[in-house]
Structure 1
Amino acid sequence: MGRRSRHLRAIRARIRRGDDGVLGLELATLALVVLMLAFTTIQVGLYYHARKVAQSAARQGVDAGREFGASESDGVSQAQEYLARYGGSVKDAQVSAGGSTAQQIRITVTGDVATLVPGLKLHVTQHADGPIERWTNP
């Protein structure tokens, strides 16, 4: 209670001194800061969500492409299907199998993050890799 009453006394003292409008200016400034913090928090959440979606799409592509008899294009198409279903937060997504070898498949997903601020460009790149399944002699 002591803290609140000190605050109220300070407001009353300002009013008596004739600081008309200062409280309104302080509240407007504080509201701007709070809104900036809220939008920053939302934007960080959008970035990490897009990153996670891109990583999941790459993982789905690797899982499909590493199966016995599958090809790199199977992995790429599976990752693209995943992005079509769940990738709304990754704009202009591109999927590639660059870096794959005969023993290993690597799927890379790149795209832009949906942003709240016009003109702000955030880019996300995620990849996953795994060994290709094949028959071997014991």
Structure 2
Amino acid sequence: MGNDGHAPRMPVPQRCRQLGARLRADDGAAAVEYMIIAPVVLALLFLAIQIAEYSYARSIALTAAQQGVDAGRAYTGGPGGAFEAASDFVDQAAGSSLSDANVRVNAGPEQVTVTVTGMSPSLVPWIPGWNVSQTATGPVERFTR
């Protein structure tokens, strides 16, 4: 202990050498940490984009089904109008976001149901996209007395 009750201080150059030695001991640690974390972050990013693509494909399929139901509910629409409206919407809006789209119409005297199915795109070439299926149903307009 020194005269003032504190431990004696090292000279500045010696402290710098010790600090430098400690820093050199960590050489490459950041690269190893990056190699561990980067693939995980990239995988999470690709998963988030894949989920967004699937959600967008579902949205297109649901909107097409609703367009078909709206056309099929009309007094003069019928099943042909429902099919045409849903198919036209898929052709215009889907692009590559909903592939292999298929429209099915089930129309009865009181209600019409339109189902649109397809595949969402995949970011990874060897993994297929996810199946998408959305259905909309509504009552058929009719005259009542």
Alignment deviations for residues 31-67 of structure 1 (CA, whole Å, 9 cap, x no partner): 1111111111111111111111100000000000110
CA distance in 2: counterparts of 1:134 and 1:31, whole angstroms: 61
Percent identity among equivalent residues?
A: 38
Gaps of 5+ in 1: 1-11
Instruction: Say which of 114, 128, 138 aligns to 2:136.
Output: 128
Asked whether 1:46 is paired with 2:41, we answer no
Amino acid in structure 1 at the alignment position of 2:32: L
1:22, CA displacement in angstroms?
4.2
1:35 aligned counterpart, secondary structure: helix
Aligned to 1:28: 35
The TM-score, its normalising length taken from structure 1, stands at 0.82
Q: Does the CA contact (< 8 Å) of 2:121 and 2:128 recur in 1?
A: no
Asked whether 1:15 is paired with 2:15, we answer no
Aligned to 1:5: none
Aligned to 1:9: none
Alignment of structure 1 residues 51-130 onto 2, 5 Å: 51-88=58-95, 89-98=97-106, 100-118=107-125, 119-130=127-138
1:123, CA displacement in angstroms?
0.4
The TM-score, its normalising length taken from structure 2, stands at 0.78
Structure number with greater Rg is 2
1:32 aligned counterpart, secondary structure: helix
Alignment length, in residue pairs?
Answer: 123
CA distance in 1: counterparts of 2:116 and 2:47, whole angstroms: 25
Aligned-residue Cα RMSD (Å) equals 1.6
1:29, CA displacement in angstroms?
2.0
Distance 1:52 1:22, change over 3 A: same
